[in-house]
Structure 1
Amino acid sequence: MKLFKPLALCLALALIGCASEAPQPSLPSGVTYLGSNPAPQAEITIPYEKFQLENGLTVVLHQDRSDPLVHLDVTYHVGSAREELGKSGFAHFFEHMMFQGSQHVADEQHFQLVTESGGTLNGTTNSDRTNYFETVPANQLEKMLWLEADRMGFLLPAVTEQAFEVQRATVKNERGQRVDNQPYGRLNELVHQALYPQGHPYSWPVIGWMEELDNGSVDDLRAFFARWYGPNNATLTIGGDFDRQQVLEWVVKYFGPIPRGPAVEQAPKAPAQLSEDRYLTLEDKVHLPLIYLSFPTVYARHQDEAALDLLADILGGGQTSIFYKNLVKAGLAVQAGVSHPCRELSCEFTLYALANPAKMPKLADIETVIRQSIAEFEQRGVTEEDLLKAQVGHEAGTIFGLQSVRGKVTSLAYNQTFFGEPDLLQTDLERYRNVSADDVMRVFNTYLKGQHAVIMSVVPPGQTGLAAANPTFTAPEPIDPATLAHAQKVVPAVIQDTFDRSQVPPAGPAPQLKVPGLWTRTLGNGIEVVGTQSLETPTTEILIALEGGQRLTPANQAGLARLTAAMMDESTDSMTTEQMAQELEKLGSSISISASGYRTYVNVSTLTQNLDATLALLQERLFKPAFRPEDFERVKVQQLQGLQHQANDPAWLASTAWSQLLFGVDNPMGQPLSGTLETVSALTLEQVKGFYQQQFRGGNASVVAVSDIDERTLMSKLDWLANWQGQAAQWPKLVRMPSTKGPVIYLMDKPGAAQSVIKIGRRGLPFDALGEYFKAGLMNYPLGGAFNSRINLNLREDKGYTYGARSGFSGGPELGSFVAGASVRSDVTAESVKEFLGEMTGFAENGMTRQELDFMRASVTQSDALKFETPGQKARFLGKLQRYNLPDNFVAQQGALINTISLNELNQLARKELDLSRMIILVVGDKTTIEAPLIALGYEVKPLTL
């Protein structure tokens, strides 16, 4: 298949200007040159150079001077799979500990330095690796290398008993928020217990079993770090705008003295094996019963991996698949899908369906349909179009992943860590291109047909009769902690330096901000098109914004805008839903339509070589929707079932209740975008057709375009937009909104909730780019706008009450709000409310400090360097300019305002905007355990229901 060959060649040519320089004969002492691909020899490549220090640290450099930023990634080849049986969760725990300071970096200083540099940072852990990364303006790179080196070589002095306990509480909060308090949150960890025998590296969850983390000690943690976090088990990857020689000298300076850690060998591949089907049942607080089948397969980069990936896409990867046709299209399931997730040691072929309880609630019946679908696939086989769509989708996804430096660095780091070769793009393209229909059928017969699986049923409480079968698997008993030996104390190595590591490296000269150059055209019918050229990848992004959204609908028709948008993804006059999806898949393009509070958006993403064909499909979708009754009934049922599903999510309940409290149930802005069971049940197909006529008018439309082709060429392809007729729709008048006088606590009961959701705030200012709304955001930044803000440091880092707490202003064209909030441990709900109010009161009374003002100024102004890198970022920037009629230089005007606004003006704003007498408090949690402590705070507590 050669569909993408010209495209990939264009991509290689586009990237060659960003390629690394040829290897220099002179390298800093202690650096070994290991190879490069500076001039693209393949169709598609990421230019890089690879080096190694004497201590074993692998260094990969990728130069890209298109934006004044750098992305740095340190990947350690250690994840939960390296943990010992009975001592789970340590790898993930270090994701937290590595941000808590080191010998020369104070507690919270890592976040402070990165944030005030205008950068972003994070860390992630999976079963096979842990990575830490920062994206910062290019002049901050030396500082980032100093930070990463300090926690690689000097972390252990900061691993104290107190820090250990605080982060242990934070991890428990993370589990509560992301696992225990989420519908279906425990699915994967239970499936993996059944799929892998006890002791297999994948038999425990990445976050760990909390009882095992409780049994761990500081010495255990320190020993785990000493074993796995040495430079010889790490890859440092840097991409962006930097000087190669200078970077290598910095790397040697900061990382070179760190001693090599213990030798690390590759873990043996360990695909799962099942001798029988294993059935499990989980009772969870869900509305939609779920069935999940997991078949063991191979491991990452096995010769059959590519064919299995394509098999998953063909069998259940979209609206043209057998899975979709037999389950979702037939109305038996609200969602269904197939995937083939792969990890270093093992892969799994997974199939799932969320049952429609109104039509087929019993998962045994759903399992029958799934197995019939598998048999149907075997009978039908793989068609030429099946293979084409799957292969094109893979190649398009690869190219879109190269739009950011972070995407390229992540790819280089992943491939180097696991396979010893940073750039495997061309190899991967060939792997998937060379898969034949016979290959797909071969892996189907080998790994799926007649093979055993773990079959998981998730059912509502007390409804085990809906499960696919009685459980045939019992999870093994936890490891007795008394049988585990605790680690001996680890003495940190003495590292000899020729410089003072306690000194924070200075920033380099400020980089020149590259705000996208733009052009504006107004079509004959008044539609404005704003665009810019982006040459890094041969792709085009088009965003059509239609003013209106839910704002056009009365409150008793909440959900109509979203239902109409969903219907626009269905059949047209001349194409079925499946035919449209098939044509898009063959192009590697996407057209998505979504509704928001004030707008309906049409997003188009395509490879530029397929732009003409994609735009033809866009016109079909925009102007010729069929609105067939059978599509309407299915889509409406899916939206209703989704609402019943969301009713089990505390965060959704809190968001919905909050909108009603602030804006009122009689206002469209006080209703959820998805509507309510009452409003959506009453919606008709005629109302959808009416809303389409009201919303999809040329007078409502504005367009943003980002492409690698020039303005003239692109506009010639968009000239059909000039024929779009219709005047702008008028917004109805908003009804009177409720009072938010307080403080008063509204309590919504969520029985058995592991965490409570807290929201504190009021209605606020609409959006402006340079006025009081913008200034209020600056004021809030040290209070709750950054990770190391007062609120987050208090509730997360000092108290261990939550996984994260924030506050902020949000504003649209006519309404806005201020909200401070978090999900907190249920047992500290009242204490958390008290801390929130205390921080806000203290900030209002005393204001921010001079140090906080300097921090805000540095952080917000320097972060502009990161805002315009990808086509998507450019499109959002242009969209904001267009929507609010902003001057082209508003970013520079904001920068000048930030640097001149006085401490006194910001503190006056704090006193005005943080007045608690104008605020209300919402708590969603288990009433039986949290009501009495909330009443004890001394505020009026009112019950609330939706």
Structure 2
Amino acid sequence: MKKTKLTLAIGFAIALAACSQQPQQQLPAGVKLIEQSAPSTGIHIPYKKYQLDNGLTVVVHEDNSDPLVHVDVTYHVGSAREEAGKSGFAHFFEHMMFQGSENVADEQHFKIVTESGGNLNGTTNNDRTNYFETVPANQLEKMLWLEADRMGFLLDAVTEKKFEVQRETVKNERGQRIDNQPYGRLFERVSEAMFPQGHPYSWPIIGYMDDLNRANVNDVKAFFLRWYGPNNATLTIGGDVKAEDILPLVNKYFGTIPRGPQVTDAAKQLWSLPDTRYISMEDNVHLPLLYISFPTVYANHKDEAALDILSEILGNGNNSLLYKNLVKTQLAVQAQVSHPCRELSCEFSLYALPNPGAGKNLADIEKIIRDSLLEFEQRGVTDDDLLKVKAKMEANSIFGLQSVSGKVSQLAASQTFKGKPDTIADDIARYNAVSKEDVMRVYQTYLKGKHSVVMSVVPRGQKALIAHADTFTPAKRDFGGPSTTKAEDLQVRKATDSFDRSKQPVAGANPAVGLPQTWTTDLGNGIQVLGSQSLETPTTSLLLKIPVGAYAESADKAGITSLMAGLMNESTKNYSTEQMSLELEKLGSSISFSSSDSYVEVFVSSLSKHLPRTLVLLEEKLRNPAFSAEDFARVQQQVLQGMQHAEKTPAYLAAQKFNGLLYEGSIAALPNEGTMASVSTLTAADIQNWYQQWFKPAGGQLIVVSDLPQDKVSAELKAQLADWQGQAPAIQVSTGALKAAPATIYLVDKPDAPQSEIRIGKRSLTQDISGEFYKAGLMNYVLGGTFNSRINLNLREDKGYTYGARAGFSGDKYAGVYTASAAVRADATVDSIRQFLNEINQFREQGIKDDELAFMRLAINQADALKYETPNAKLGFMAQILEFNLTPDFVRERNQIVSSISKEEINALAKKHLDTKDMVILVVGDAKTLEPQLAELGMPVKRL
């Protein structure tokens, strides 16, 4: 499928991709070429950079390897541009920008992109907001029209009603992601203590809800007018395009949008804390958490790279000091160090979750962490410390070039914050230049003897576990009553055009999309191998699936496969965990084991030049796991503590309880990781015996995507894996019969929860590729399978009850379910259930509408260009071929089904599969409030 090959350096001797002035090409009036990348043999992303007269920066990356384009508009505005008392506006506008504009009707942005065969989103951080779409190449003009309309023609469409609905949606998002999550307010509290009052990083990105409640619609309009001008934005387009062809379109749609107010970069300055600030909070958590954070530099400061390497040495991976002193000793379930950087500030942060069995409070953990810093002073920096970080940097840079969206995102961010689109070579060079002395110097400068914020989060009622009594209280926030900003205060800008913007551009013919070319080989041990060559990056990705999973287990041994997979990430007979990790890190490779219902899955990622050595290590992990007593005790405790932690997470709790209701009495009812009872009784000998019995190659599936030719990959695979032999027993799977009562509400208590998790559904079809399961998914698409589905538009966009609601079929070869789900405002729980049931019943009774059927067909069949772009996407596609014994032509068969399925067939499927009288309802929320309210629905309510 790929038509070109991106040339990449293999080693670290990188020639910097310099920018040079080129002869001026014939450009539209009002567009000038600023620079374009010079040819380079190093790791780089070719680009051309232009600027329109209104200040809009345009970056174009030409890459015809796939018939798709990625469009990104990045505005240099995030929460750091807000004023004290007006927090959350940047994030709020991320929501408002999807609500329609002057020439794009309400709720149509998602619909237009989706039916174009694309995907889209927007994100906000402290320093920027971006909006992006990936679509087939023929849809580019439509995307430019959409993005230009919300840049230049948004405000007249921002109504009071939309403002109120999206304000509720943001509250729901905060409830779901922060207030109803374990440790959800950690970073908010740390930021309040870390930064001076009024500093733009001192408030959360999502904002304080009292600030949003105080605001009116004119406040957010004023924020838009201040920051969302073309002169504060970068439009980046990458993919199957030519700059000379698309610049007239860019100029047509964006060129007449008036420039906004002048924007200057915020001043960057280093600062230190005047004292160590201890803060604490009680939370609905299982494990206490200690978080220590030091202020350091700011993004792209000369010391950033050395501080990043220091963080790797202290707390990343199995060779770090915190792992050695806390995790390996089982004093902590988890411990890590990070050095995240933003435009104005970086923080060096260390955290740990103590193991309850160790009997340590957070003061003890703090001492061990500080002793580890002193140990680093004595230990110093080794050659391997530098080598593995630099290998990781090279590998990450190359793997980041596998998708056009990845390349465009890098270009957009680098242009926004560095004024130069492609800085990959610069970044690699600055990490390569870091010396041992540099790492020691930054430790002495920013950590040793310096003040920090120390945050203790403890379970409710266990205040005695905190590291230290609080020594800091944030200043009280009081910014008065409701805003008085008026419409007449706004300085509105208007574009003047010579064409009709209300006319949506018509896309040309869909680009032809070739299926990945595949090859097979025989290892002689029962493993089916399916491979494909992908020339875009010099990388190899493998997915090995061994046919043993949770379905092979008995209830008393539930979780044994998951625990075995976890231990196979640890030591082997010839390598300690630390030695194996170091060997992989020095290659920039990774090998990861995990388990599912039916398989143990092994994912391998390697630069192709290191594939032979990576496969040697893979063979060692596959055939010689140590299952040592020390590893077993540590990993078992991590699993047990993880279970208890997960029980505090509402979405996890709802998923597990709902699954338990549907499959009660069978192995399918139990989590893949097992239960407290089952995992607690497992032994290292059990794991060894399970491995000996079940972990066999026969029946395995190996999928490979590499830039290397078939003969080279086949030879390497056979050299390492061909003499691994054996076959496991056949697996007999039974999922039992439904025992839960349909049309019944099962209630799980989560005291004082600000939101309720809702699950409504039934046992349903097992998975197939082009049969009734697939067709049922097409039927459900407009009901609950996309952003513009009936369910989501009702509960999120119309009612403001939730951040997102959905419904769909899921399954495997043995079991399947239909589930409708959402996390909703606690006070909207009863009506949310009512709305779910109404939407499902109405769809079942009245069927799909003609325009909905057309939308579904366009959305699914035009998305082919996005399905096989990256190696990982190819792995997933090819894994289906092996698991279901298909030929690649199954894609064309499914496309034909989408094109030809009739309204009558869809409606018959709805009648058959969407009877709510057969559905079970589960609610996780505050039972004392909800139980009497749920009775209003006229169904039995049972406590779980």
Mean alpha-carbon deviation: is it higher for 845-854 or for 728-737?
728-737
Matches of 2:297 and 2:569, distance apart in 1? 36
**Offset, 1:855:** 0.1
Kindly provide the CA deviation profile for residues 59-107 of structure 1, in whole angstroms up to 9, marking residues without a partner as x: 0000110111100000000000000111100000000000000000011
Matches of 2:425 and 2:612, distance apart in 1? 27
**Offset, 1:894:** 0.6
Correspondence 1:718 to 2:721? no
Matches of 1:676 and 1:68, distance apart in 2? 47
SS of 2:357's partner is coil
Matches of 1:356 and 1:250, distance apart in 2? 59
Q: In 1, are the aligned partners of 2:78 and 2:125 still within 8 Å (CA)?
A: yes
SS of 2:711's partner is helix
Q: Which residue identity does 1:7 align to in structure 2?
A: I
The aligned counterpart of 1:755 is 755
Matches of 1:764 and 1:726, distance apart in 2? 35
Q: In 1, are the aligned partners of 2:552 and 2:733 still within 8 Å (CA)?
A: no
SS of 2:912's partner is helix
Matches of 2:124 and 2:731, distance apart in 1? 47
Kindly provide the CA deviation profile for residues 560-608 of structure 1, in whole angstroms up to 9, marking residues without a partner as x: 1111111111111111110000101111100000011111101100111
**Offset, 1:284:** 0.4
Consecutive unaligned residues in structure 1, runs of 5 or more: none
Matches of 2:508 and 2:359, distance apart in 1? 63
Q: Which residue identity does 1:373 align to in structure 2?
A: S
Q: In 1, are the aligned partners of 2:9 and 2:41 still within 8 Å (CA)?
A: no
Correspondence 1:452 to 2:451? yes
Q: In 1, are the aligned partners of 2:584 and 2:590 still within 8 Å (CA)?
A: yes
Correspondence 1:883 to 2:883? yes
**Offset, 1:272:** 4.2
SS of 1:699's partner is coil
Kindly provide the CA deviation profile for residues 326-351 of structure 1, in whole angstroms up to 9, marking residues without a partner as x: 01001011111011000000110000
Mean alpha-carbon deviation: is it higher for 654-663 or for 171-180?
654-663
Matches of 1:329 and 1:436, distance apart in 2? 29
**Offset, 1:515:** 1.4
The aligned counterpart of 1:318 is 317
Q: Is the alpha carbon distance of 1:871 and 1:309 closer, same or farther for their aligned partners in structure 2, counting shifts above 3 Å?
A: same
1:733-882, aligned counterparts within 5 Å?
A: 733-734=733-734, 736-739=736-739, 741-882=741-882
Kindly provide the CA deviation profile for residues 698-732 of structure 1, in whole angstroms up to 9, marking residues without a partner as x: 11311000000000100000003222211143113
**Offset, 1:837:** 0.1
Matches of 1:462 and 1:271, distance apart in 2? 38
Matches of 1:23 and 1:367, distance apart in 2? 60
Q: Is the alpha carbon distance of 1:24 and 1:524 closer, same or farther for their aligned partners in structure 2, counting shifts above 3 Å?
A: farther
Q: Which residue identity does 2:438 align to in structure 1?
A: D
Q: Which residue identity does 1:298 align to in structure 2?
A: V
Matches of 1:849 and 1:6, distance apart in 2? 54
**Offset, 1:557:** 1.6
**Offset, 1:6:** 5.0
**Offset, 1:271:** 3.8
SS of 1:700's partner is coil
SS of 2:698's partner is helix
Matches of 1:416 and 1:200, distance apart in 2? 25
**Offset, 1:556:** 2.2
Matches of 2:676 and 2:105, distance apart in 1? 51
**Offset, 1:930:** 1.2
Q: In 2, are the aligned partners of 1:314 and 1:390 still within 8 Å (CA)?
A: no
Matches of 2:824 and 2:509, distance apart in 1? 42
Q: In 2, are the aligned partners of 1:745 and 1:923 still within 8 Å (CA)?
A: yes
Q: Is the alpha carbon distance of 1:5 and 1:660 closer, same or farther for their aligned partners in structure 2, counting shifts above 3 Å?
A: closer
Give the fraction of aligned pairs with identical amino acids, expressed as a percent.
56
Matches of 2:13 and 2:813, distance apart in 1? 41
Q: In 2, are the aligned partners of 1:277 and 1:452 still within 8 Å (CA)?
A: yes
Matches of 2:724 and 2:132, distance apart in 1? 46
Correspondence 1:598 to 2:598? yes
Matches of 1:669 and 1:10, distance apart in 2? 53
Q: In 1, are the aligned partners of 2:166 and 2:797 still within 8 Å (CA)?
A: yes
Correspondence 1:529 to 2:529? yes
Kindly provide the CA deviation profile for residues 93-134 of structure 1, in whole angstroms up to 9, marking residues without a partner as x: 000000000000011110100000110000000000000000
Consecutive unaligned residues in structure 2, runs of 5 or more: 1-6
Matches of 1:483 and 1:119, distance apart in 2? 40
The aligned counterpart of 1:406 is 405
Q: Is the alpha carbon distance of 1:271 and 1:754 closer, same or farther for their aligned partners in structure 2, counting shifts above 3 Å?
A: farther
Q: Which residue identity does 2:525 align to in structure 1?
A: N
Kindly provide the CA deviation profile for residues 778-797 of structure 1, in whole angstroms up to 9, marking residues without a partner as x: 00000000100000000000
The aligned counterpart of 1:255 is 254
Kindly provide the CA deviation profile for residues 246-297 of structure 1, in whole angstroms up to 9, marking residues without a partner as x: 2101100000010000000110014442011000001000111100000000
Q: In 1, are the aligned partners of 2:695 and 2:728 still within 8 Å (CA)?
A: no
SS of 1:358's partner is helix
Q: Is the alpha carbon distance of 1:10 and 1:690 closer, same or farther for their aligned partners in structure 2, counting shifts above 3 Å?
A: farther
Matches of 2:216 and 2:333, distance apart in 1? 45
What is the RMSD of the two structures over their aligned residues, measured on CA atoms?
A: 1.8
Q: In 1, are the aligned partners of 2:15 and 2:425 still within 8 Å (CA)?
A: no
**Offset, 1:822:** 0.3
Q: Which residue identity does 1:55 align to in structure 2?
A: N
Mean alpha-carbon deviation: is it higher for 473-482 or for 410-419?
473-482
The aligned counterpart of 2:614 is 614
1:148-187, aligned counterparts within 5 Å?
A: 148-187=147-186
Q: In 2, are the aligned partners of 1:195 and 1:272 still within 8 Å (CA)?
A: no
Q: In 1, are the aligned partners of 2:9 and 2:43 still within 8 Å (CA)?
A: no
Q: In 1, are the aligned partners of 2:807 and 2:819 still within 8 Å (CA)?
A: yes
Q: In 2, are the aligned partners of 1:11 and 1:537 still within 8 Å (CA)?
A: no
**Offset, 1:20:** 14
Q: Which residue identity does 1:927 align to in structure 2?
A: A
1:413-492, aligned counterparts within 5 Å?
A: 413-482=412-481, 486=485, 489-492=489-492
**Offset, 1:8:** 5.2
The aligned counterpart of 2:692 is 693
* TM-score of the pair, normalised by structure 1: 0.97
Matches of 1:347 and 1:236, distance apart in 2? 27
1:527-566, aligned counterparts within 5 Å?
A: 527-566=527-566
Matches of 1:27 and 1:6, distance apart in 2? 33
* TM-score of the pair, normalised by structure 2: 0.97
Q: Which residue identity does 2:867 align to in structure 1?
A: K
Q: Which residue identity does 1:620 align to in structure 2?
A: E
Matches of 2:703 and 2:391, distance apart in 1? 26
Q: In 1, are the aligned partners of 2:12 and 2:394 still within 8 Å (CA)?
A: no
Matches of 2:758 and 2:8, distance apart in 1? 53
Matches of 1:835 and 1:304, distance apart in 2? 55
Matches of 1:458 and 1:661, distance apart in 2? 33
Matches of 2:8 and 2:65, distance apart in 1? 24
The aligned counterpart of 2:518 is 518
Matches of 2:482 and 2:115, distance apart in 1? 47
Q: Is the alpha carbon distance of 1:22 and 1:513 closer, same or farther for their aligned partners in structure 2, counting shifts above 3 Å?
A: farther
The aligned counterpart of 2:218 is 219
Mean alpha-carbon deviation: is it higher for 44-53 or for 395-404?
395-404
The aligned counterpart of 2:916 is 916
Matches of 1:132 and 1:112, distance apart in 2? 15
**Offset, 1:183:** 0.2
Kindly provide the CA deviation profile for residues 468-494 of structure 1, in whole angstroms up to 9, marking residues without a partner as x: 000001011013224976365325323
Q: Is the alpha carbon distance of 1:741 and 1:483 closer, same or farther for their aligned partners in structure 2, counting shifts above 3 Å?
A: closer
Matches of 2:9 and 2:427, distance apart in 1? 17
SS of 1:604's partner is strand
Q: In 2, are the aligned partners of 1:10 and 1:538 still within 8 Å (CA)?
A: no
**Offset, 1:742:** 2.0
The aligned counterpart of 1:47 is 46
SS of 2:937's partner is coil
Q: Which residue identity does 2:257 align to in structure 1?
A: I
Q: In 2, are the aligned partners of 1:196 and 1:272 still within 8 Å (CA)?
A: no
Q: Which residue identity does 1:53 align to in structure 2?
A: L
The aligned counterpart of 2:356 is 357
Matches of 2:873 and 2:24, distance apart in 1? 35
Q: In 2, are the aligned partners of 1:588 and 1:607 still within 8 Å (CA)?
A: yes
Q: Which residue identity does 1:852 align to in structure 2?
A: E
Q: In 1, are the aligned partners of 2:8 and 2:538 still within 8 Å (CA)?
A: no
Q: Is the alpha carbon distance of 1:506 and 1:132 closer, same or farther for their aligned partners in structure 2, counting shifts above 3 Å?
A: same
Kindly provide the CA deviation profile for residues 851-875 of structure 1, in whole angstroms up to 9, marking residues without a partner as x: 0000000000011110111110011
**Offset, 1:555:** 1.9
Q: Which residue identity does 1:809 align to in structure 2?
A: F
**Offset, 1:11:** 11
Matches of 1:484 and 1:912, distance apart in 2? 53
Matches of 2:456 and 2:561, distance apart in 1? 34
The aligned counterpart of 1:296 is 295
The aligned counterpart of 2:663 is 663
Correspondence 1:62 to 2:65? no
Matches of 1:79 and 1:374, distance apart in 2? 34
Matches of 2:502 and 2:21, distance apart in 1? 33
Q: In 2, are the aligned partners of 1:547 and 1:701 still within 8 Å (CA)?
A: yes
The aligned counterpart of 2:4 is none
